[in-house]
Amino acid sequence: MKNLLLLFVLLSSQVFGQGGLGSVVLPGNATCENEYINVSPCGGLTTLTYNGYTYDLVEIGGQCWFRENLQTTTYRDGSPIDYPDSSNATWENNATGAYAWYNNDSTTYASDYGALYNWHAVVNPSGLCPAGWQVATDCEWMYLEGTLGMSTTDQDITGWRGTDEGGKLKDTGTTHWDSSSGATNSSGFTGLPGGLRYATGLFYNLGTAGGWWSSSELNASKAWYRIMDDDKIYVGRWDYAKVFGFSIRCIKDSAEIVASLKETKKVSALYIYPNPVTNYLVVQPEHPSTLTLYNAQGQLLLTKEINHTHTLNTSHLSKGIYFLRATNERGVHSQK
């Protein structure tokens, strides 16, 4: 008996993607059309202790994120991350992974803003995030933005994008931000303006901007990151030199599920459409299958035997993430 696992997100009656249980692909997004994206809920966890510090967690669109900036000074395996301190030249020339405290002052800034890491630390094989967690990819950031309302067209843009998604991600008030106009933090992400460390080693923008690395590179010298400004409610997406220092947020990993999906022999197809969904979802199997539908909490909503094209009524479903599993005797095929 073989399983085909599909995921769809119902967001204002809109299917956001399909892929495997714990993963999703973004339809209509050229950058992410062949990339699986972690969608792994917190499973009731509200905090996680890592290297001596306890981080608050938040679940957004089925993804489990750190609600605070990372501040570890050691990698997952316990080895130390390079700390150039006030040596701008050492920072600029580091190519293996380094961190910094804003203005080299951990006493003042560490507890609120965390550390700033260059991109080499993000991809260091020793691991920057805890076991079972990772630095979000560019596409996983796009998924997050999409669950907050950003269109797939805007997600793929370089520059300021979206409508008010930045406001939904930023902390409110002026305790940290110089200005909080339009900030609602309705997502619970609690983005803070931790500033950045330039390639030259200088520090800028504390209180006015927060930047977060993704784990996706553009080329040998640049990688993708996100930025939020105090006077904007959009989310910026740019590529910067890997020696810059930005904040880090970890996301819960579903890599084992994704790897299983990618390695499964594809011998049977199942299609779901339309995309986006309005009030119904058409399921078209190549072979007789058993459909089971779950919500993000794992509650079984539907079991249905089908041997031909079948229409599922989705008009009664609330906004959120749903998992559709098809079981048959022929094998597995995952189709976007």
Q: Give mean pLDDT, residues 200-204.
A: 97
Using the predicted structure, report yes or no on whether residue 262 has a pLDDT greater than 90: no
Per-residue confidence (pLDDT) for residue 278, from 0 to 100: 58
Which residues contact residue 259 at a Cβ distance below 8 angstroms, ignoring those fewer than 6 apart?
none
Which residues contact residue 133 at a Cβ distance below 8 angstroms, ignoring those fewer than 6 apart?
48, 66, 250, 251, 252, 253
Binning pLDDT at 50, 70 and 90, where does residue 247 land? very high
Which of 208, 62, 255, 226 minimizes the C-alpha distance to 155?
226
Per-residue confidence (pLDDT) for residue 18, from 0 to 100: 37
pLDDT, tens digit, for every residue of 115-126? 999 999 999 999
Instruction: Give Cα 276 to chain centroid, integer Å.
Output: 21
Q: Give mean pLDDT, residues 235-263.
A: 78
Per-residue confidence (pLDDT) for residue 256, from 0 to 100: 39
Instruction: Give Cα 83 to chain centroid, integer Å.
Output: 27
Distances (CA, A) of 297 to 5, 54, 146, 279, 303: 16, 24, 20, 22, 16
Give domain limits for the chain: 2-37+256-328, 40-253
- H/E element holding 294? strand 289-295
Per-residue confidence (pLDDT) for residue 1, from 0 to 100: 43
Strands 289-295 and 320-328: antiparallel
DSSP code, position 287: S
Using the predicted structure, report yes or no on whether residue 271 has a pLDDT greater than 90: no
* Site of tokens 């947020």: 249
How many Cβ atoms sit within 10 Å of the Cβ of residue 73?
A: 16
- Please give the Cα distance from 134 to 125 (Å, whole number): 12
Instruction: Give Cα 78 to chain centroid, integer Å.
Output: 25
Using the predicted structure, report yes or no on whether residue 230 has a pLDDT greater than 60: yes
Count Cβ atoms within 10 A of the Cβ of residue 252 and give its class: 0-12 exposed, 13-18 middle, 19 or more buried. Answer: buried
Distances (CA, A) of 23 to 139, 221, 258, 291: 12, 29, 6, 18
Using the predicted structure, report yes or no on whether residue 332 has a pLDDT greater than 80: no
Using the predicted structure, report yes or no on whether residue 54 has a pLDDT greater than 60: yes
pTM score of the predicted model: 0.73
Q: Give mean pLDDT, residues 165-170.
A: 98
pLDDT, tens digit, for every residue of 105-145? 999 999 999 999 999 999 999 999 999 999 999 999 999 99
Per-residue confidence (pLDDT) for residue 327, from 0 to 100: 74
- 94 or 7: whose pLDDT is higher? 94
Per-residue confidence (pLDDT) for residue 290, from 0 to 100: 80
Write the CATH number of the domain with boundaries 2-37+256-328. Answer: 2.60.40
Please tell me the least confidently modeled range out of 157-171, 273-287, 288-302.
273-287
Highest mean pLDDT among 138-147, 186-195, 274-283: 186-195
Binning pLDDT at 50, 70 and 90, where does residue 283 land? confident
Q: Give mean pLDDT, residues 3-30.
A: 46
Per-residue confidence (pLDDT) for residue 22, from 0 to 100: 43
Which residues contact residue 93 at a Cβ distance below 8 angstroms, ignoring those fewer than 6 apart?
none
pLDDT, tens digit, for every residue of 76-99? 999 999 999 999 999 999 999 999
Which residues contact residue 65 at a Cβ distance below 8 angstroms, ignoring those fewer than 6 apart?
57, 58, 59, 136, 144, 189, 249, 250, 251, 252
